[in-house]
Amino acid sequence: MIVILKKNAQPQQVELFDAWLHNMGLETHKSIGANHTIIGLVGDTSRVDMESILALDIVEAVRRIQEPYKNANRKFHEEDTVITLSNGAKIGGGHFMVMAGPCSVETEEQIISVARSVKAAGATVLRGGAFKPRTSPYAFQGLQGEGIKLLLEAKAETGLPIVTEIMDAKHLPLFEDVDIIQVGARNMQNFELLRELGRTDKTILLKRGLANTIKELLMSAEYICAGGNEKIILCERGIRTYETATRNTLDLSAVPVLHEITHLPVVIDPSHATGNSAYVPSMAVAAAACGADGIMIEVHNDPMHALCDGAQSLTPAQFDTLAKKIFAVREVAMS
């Protein structure tokens, strides 16, 4: 961290500030220029509140030069993280994973039928919502515990590992046999939940919040890492902008940015980002082309009657066509 002092900073003020910094366990390194005095801080600056320093009378500017995330930082962990699931499917380090399934689990028949379809098309993970975060308290909230049971039946039937969303740490016992626990966009900064997940040994799919920066996404991953669990898959699913032609704006450049600064695998969810099944195929193919480590797509056997988010689901036939294209494009793009 670098602190730039104002031109007119009085020596005794500077000394006081220096003492305060040492008191926080930091070494300082001063460099006096014609116009500015610059203080470099050495030590663990991750606890230092930049805004408090900036509020000091003598301070002109404060700049962080080290990222505040450590475990998730590629600088300290050069190799890509590779995560392997129960069926042997891998993600990260060159391995590509397709997750597919309905927004909500509805019936045994539905989930098993979709699971079979997506497996046949090449998906290696089954997604399905049991606990559904809905903007309205009057909307369908998911089958909850019952939904997880149905997912496990589909897993037993097809061998596909399952990913499903958790909304509160108190439901963790229900997730014992779930392969990947999803943290939804609205809970990306539910720090109590992240902390609890850090204490499990489950793979976590962490979705970026609608208004969260890429750095904040990594800080939330850091909450999980800090508890000892580094099996984290990051997911970009659209951010909130002024544009209303799509539900959210898919920030696909998050893929190369994240690959540069973290070793964790990155998945794209074009279904929630666009909110419109007509735009899902082109965005899914684009995600494969730009190097995403995985794609998560909503597939429903009867999108017209889906209890939620039907508008963004593909039919199994559409998904089958899309999956072929995804694999073909990825092969060329990664060659």
> Of residues 133-172, which lie at the interface with a second copy (CB under 8 A)?
133-140, 167-170
CA 46 to chain centre: 22
Contact 304, 284 (CB under 8 A): no
Residues 47-86 that bind a second copy (CB under 8 A): 47, 49, 51-52, 54-56, 60-61, 63, 65, 68
* Kind and range of the H or E run holding 266: strand 266-268
Hey, is 271 helix, strand or coil? Answer: helix
Q: How far is the CB of 56 from a second copy (least distance, A)?
A: 7
CB of 39 to a second copy, least distance (A): 10
Adjacency order of strands within the sheet including 27-32: 27-32, 37-42, 2-5, 59-63
Distances from the Cα of 126 to the Cαs of 68, 77, 138, 204, 306, in angstroms? 34, 30, 27, 15, 17
Chosen residue from 176, 211, 228, 321 binding a second copy by CB under 8 A: 211
The binder of a second copy chosen from 9, 14, 36, 149 (CB under 8 A)? 36
Q: Which of 308, 314, 322, 323 binds a second copy (CB under 8 A)?
A: 308
Q: Which residues 83-122 are close enough to bind a second copy by CB under 8 A?
A: none
Nearer to a second copy, 161 or 281 (CB): 281
Instruction: Please identify, using beta-carbon distances, which residue of 12 and 244 lies nearer to a second copy.
Output: 244
State the burial class of residue 222 (Cβ atoms within 10 Å of its Cβ: 0-12, 13-18, 19+).
Answer: buried
Site for a second copy in 272-301 (CB under 8 A): 273-279, 282-283, 285-291
CB of 150 or CB of 223, closer to a second copy: 223
Report the site for a second copy in 165-204 (rule: CB under 8 A). Answer: 167-170, 186-187, 189-193, 195
Q: Pairing between strand 27-32 and 37-42? A: antiparallel
| Segment near a second copy (CB under 8 A); pick from 106-114, 120-128, 129-137, 146-154 | 129-137
Minimum CB separation from a second copy for residue 10, in Å? 16
Binding segment (CB under 8 A) for a second copy, from list 91-99, 147-155, 156-164, 309-317: 309-317
* Residues 215-244: x where in contact with a second copy by CB under 8 A, - otherwise, as a string: xx--x--xx--x------------xxxxxx
Binding-site size, a second copy (CB under 8 A) = 103
Stretch near a second copy under the rule CB under 8 A, chosen from 78-86, 94-102, 115-123, 130-138? 130-138
User: Using CB under 8 A, which of 91, 204, 235, 252 touches a second copy?
Assistant: 252
What whole-number distance in Å separates Cα of residue 186 and Cα of residue 278?
Answer: 25
Task: Using alpha carbons, list the distances in angstroms from residue 264 to 148, 255, 257, 298.
Answer: 27, 11, 12, 23
Q: Classify 221 in phi/psi space as left (phi over 0), alpha (psi -120 to 50) or beta.
A: alpha
Nearest to 264, CA basis, from 300, 236, 243: 236
**DSSP per-residue string spanning 12-81:** HHHHHHHHHHHHTT-EEEEEE-SS-EEEEEES-GGG--HHHHHTSTTEEEEE--S-S--TTBGGG--SPP
Q: Which stretch binds a second copy (CB under 8 A): 77-85, 87-95, 115-123, 131-139?
A: 131-139
- The torsion angles phi and psi of 127, rounded to 5 degrees, stand at -105, 155
In sequence order, what are the residues at sequence separation of 6 or more whose Cβ sits closer than 8 angstroms to the Cβ of residue 286?
252
**Distance in Å, CB of 83 to a second copy, minimum:** 21
Cβ proximity to a second copy: between 19 and 156 the closer is: 19
